[in-house]
């Protein structure tokens, strides 16, 4: 039985959305999994520190926005129902 590859390779020119795509895929994997430690099993490789820092910053911002929305949704449900 052949195992499907779980690797994604983005090969494109500068400014084409590789970082956006990588962040989107990372968040999909982490948020769809029931294992709270799933993020520890993901390897993302870039060729520059700048790209790595940009990915990290985008992930942190997206997670913060997600948690903010959960907080406000919880407050809404508590006070309105």
CB contact at 8 A, 27 and 62 = yes
Residue 7 lies in a domain: no
Domain extent for 66: 18-80
Residue 58 lies in a domain: yes
> Structurally, how many domains does the chain consist of?
1
Residue 46 lies in a domain: yes
Tens of pLDDT, residue by residue over 36-73, are: 777 778 777 777 888 888 888 888 888 788 777 776 66
Residue 2 lies in a domain: no
DSSP string, 20-57: HHHHHHHHHHHHH-S-TTGGGG-----SSHHHHHHHHH
Residue 34 lies in a domain: yes
Tens of pLDDT, residue by residue over 3-23, are: 455 777 777 787 787 778 888
Residue 1 lies in a domain: no
Residue 24 lies in a domain: yes
Residue 6 lies in a domain: no
Q: What is the pTM of this model?
A: 0.59
């Amino acid at each position: 039985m052949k195992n499907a590859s779980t690797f994604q390779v983005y090969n494109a020119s500068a400014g084409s959305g590789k970082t956006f795509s990588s962040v989107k895929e990372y968040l999909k994997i982490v948020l769809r999994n029931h294992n709270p430690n799933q993020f520890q099993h993901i390897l993302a490789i870039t060729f520059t520190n700048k790209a790595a820092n940009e990915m990290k910053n985008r992930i942190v911002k997206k997670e913060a926005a997600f948690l903010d929305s959960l907080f406000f949704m919880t407050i809404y449900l508590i006070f309105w129902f």
